[in-house]
A and B are shown apart, each in its own frame.
Chain A
Amino acid sequence: MHSATKYLNGHSDVIAGALAAARDDALWQSIRYIRVAAAASSGLRVVAAAARDTHAAPAGRLRLLQRDGNRAALRAPPEALHVLYPGLASNPGHAVAARQMSGGFGG
């Protein structure tokens, strides 16, 4: 499940998301049915804004967020009690994050 409201949008003018499944099975068809039957479809304005954002290089935006995230984590002031960032080698989630994430650890 991906939120298009947050990083993929980046302009605070979209409320949307995406769900993808590994298999096209009965569960997935029931989820699709709920989406259609409950009319959980995005409006044209939202779709246009989301298309603008995902076509306008979200990778670049993420890189910036990531650079800032890394800088903030590395330059935490001495008053900071704890820095929660999997990009830090000292973070307990670092090894798994380094293996399953590609290109960075998020903003």
Chain B
Amino acid sequence: MPGAVLAPRNMYWALRKWLLDFAKPRGLAVEFYDNASIDDLAAKARAVKPRGIWIETPANPTWEVTDIAAASAIAREVGAVIGIDSTVATPLLTPRSSSAPRS
């Protein structure tokens, strides 16, 4: 069973198209969250219980910023794998230490 994935409403168009036109017809449930709101991500994650959460920060093309540590905590809470598209930031501007949980 493919399960569900949670993805940002504003995101790189090619992946959004792949999710909707390729993955969804093959059984993956795809839900979108408002990537200007970490609260919406949390609410959708608790409701949908996705197997995967995808974030993109800053998000192409509208540059919404998602809190990586907060989103990772939500993913841990609901038992989802989290993936981060860091195309815009590159590893130079968002080092891996950014994703470490804050105390």
On A, residues with C-beta under 8 Å from B are: 1-3, 6-8, 20, 22, 27, 58-59, 62, 84-86, 91-94, 96-97, 99-106
Contacts and interface: CB of A to CB of B under 8 A. Distances in A.
Contacts, number: 77
B94 A101 contact: yes
A70 to B, nearest CB: 13
Contact of A92 (B36, B68, B99): B36
Q: Is the interface of A mostly helix, strand, loop or mixed?
A: loop
A96 B86 contact: no
A1 B90 CA distance: 9
B62 to A, nearest CB: 5
A104 B96 CA distance: 15
B84 A1 contact: yes
B83 A2 contact: no
B1 interface: no
B90 A104 contact: no
B92 A59 contact: yes
B47 interface: no
B60 to A, nearest CB: 9
For the complex of A and B, 8 pairs with smallest distance between CB atoms: A93-B65, A3-B87, A100-B98, A97-B65, A84-B63, A96-B67, A86-B65, A106-B88
